[in-house]
Amino acid sequence: MIATKSAISVALLEVEEEFEAATGAELDIVRLPGVEHYPTIITDLTNRAGKYDASIAGGWWVGDMVAGDHLRPYDDFYNDPRFPRWDIDDVLPGPRRLLSYSGKKYMVAYDHDGQVLYFRRDLLNEPRHQASFKQKYGYALAVPQTWKQLRDALEYFHGRDLNGDGTPDHGIVLALKPGSQGMFNYMTLSGPFVIGPGNPKLYWFDPQTMKPLITSPGHVRALEQFVELVRFGPREMLTWDHGRGWDEFLAGRAAFALSWGDLGALAQQAGSRVRGKTGAAPVPGTHEYFDIARQRWVKTSSLNRVGNTTGASWAGVISKYSKVPEATYFLLALLATSEKSKVYAARGSDGVDPGRRFHFLPPEGTGSAAPYLQAGWNEDDARDYLGAFQQVFSDKQQVPYLRIPGTYSYWLALDLHLVEAAGGQLSPAAALQAAAADFEEITIRLGRERQRAAYRASLGF
């Protein structure tokens, strides 16, 4: 088994003895730094070496792995009583889509990534801020429902002392260091500018020609909004990775953050200055989106919200070259059982984020707050957190997740040009044009027809 040497693989170490006692097999866990994990496993698969039976893989890796015919689906194991039982239908609709590819099950549920809007509940509830905000903007201060409302709230809080240390703080914190996955922030924000009732899937490429779609007016307007939000954060965040950005929010130096489940869990830990103050909500929406198929802006009768599964959504995959696929699936299914998954999601320190019905509260979910309270969560923080992720993962509209060969090359190209826009070197339109040109070069290098076939398969066409 190969996994990233970080919190996300801690659970593997914990189940080692249990797995070996149950199967008689010996578990050898290789934990590598993140920059080494993917190159190592893809090289092993490409060479058909079979050194690693399985990997805790990122969701975007599956395009390369399936297109190369390197993974073993587990459909024939799933209902076999020899293996630990877990229910794929417990996974909420958004992240559930990532577990299968072309109608076959490849990823065994583990971690469920998506982004929500974190906010300082104490600041939004403060009567002084409510009165001042309404006087300035003409409407009540509340959890932002649209990106325009978020922009106003960021402007209002930016430059105020938010943690009582006498130093001006910021409206928002984002992690934008090139190459550290800052492009996920843009993907999340851009969803409701592009995806809508008349356009559920067209976001990345034209599925007939593989021409990039990221220069659409919807994408451009989204990046314009993104650049506007960046104005209300610390200039230094253009060089920050996620950990540094999280530290800023946890120190009480920002009113809002756009991030994954990790931040909500970290807010509960020792040293956090925002425990009991951290609210969470689905990301804002729009009242208009650009329908790429019809090439026009479409107004919506209600708020156009779009869920997301942006992130890695780490999950187990089985190498086609494994000589012990049964034992391998046993391990992955053991990690996926509800008993273990409830513990992982509640404690948060292992990087495993919630995404299944038993993680969430009634009436939408079947779980309870008890595991979170036992893990030290503030009850209000936990309820906001779970409610936000339940809505994000259940939304019928989702930002399409890219799962084709070269996905990370496409994303890295986008990331580098987004930072140019955020830093003022390029206009939003020019940045997306530059990213689209890079997309074309990658597609040509990898083979247009191969990419087209993989893209259509990934969308379920």
Return the residue matching tokens 């090359």: 409
**Residue 225's CB: how many other CB atoms inside 10 A?**
21
Does residue 236 sit in the same domain as residue 381?
Answer: no
Distance CA(61)–CA(184), nearest Å, equals: 15
For residue range 32-84, list pLDDT tens digits in order. Answer: 999 999 999 999 999 999 999 999 999 999 999 999 999 999 999 999 999 99
Q: Are strands 278-281 and 286-291 parallel, antiparallel or unpaired?
A: unpaired
Residues 6+ apart with CB under 8 A from 366: 357, 358, 360
pLDDT, residue 128, reads: 97
Does residue 124 sit in the same domain as residue 270?
Answer: yes
| Number of separate domains in the chain | 2
Does residue 124 sit in the same domain as residue 203?
Answer: yes
Asked whether residue 416 is assigned to any structural domain, the reply reads no
* Identity of the amino acid at 160: R
Please provide the average confidence, as pLDDT, over all residues in the chain. 97
* Identity of the amino acid at 78: Y
pLDDT, residue 349, reads: 85
For residue range 1-40, list pLDDT tens digits in order. Answer: 999 999 999 999 999 999 999 999 999 999 999 999 999 9
pLDDT, residue 157, reads: 98
Give the 3-state secondary structure of residue 224.
Answer: helix
Dihedral through CA 244, CA 248, CA 254, CA 257, nearest 10?
40
Which one of 258, 277, 304 terminates a domain? 304
**What DSSP element (H or E) covers 183?**
helix 183-194
Residue 297: half-sphere exposure toward Cβ, Cα within 13 Å: 10
Give the 3-state secondary structure of residue 120.
Answer: strand
Does residue 239 sit in the same domain as residue 348?
Answer: no
Q: Of all residues in the chain, what percent carry a pLDDT higher than 90?
A: 97
Which one of 304, 324, 356 terminates a domain? 304
CATH of residue 348: 3.40.190.10
Beta bridge partners of 196: 199
Asked whether residue 54 is assigned to any structural domain, the reply reads yes
pLDDT, residue 422, reads: 95
Residues 6+ apart with CB under 8 A from 245: 173, 174, 175, 237, 257, 259
pLDDT, residue 461, reads: 80
Q: Which domain holds residue 321?
A: 2-113+311-386
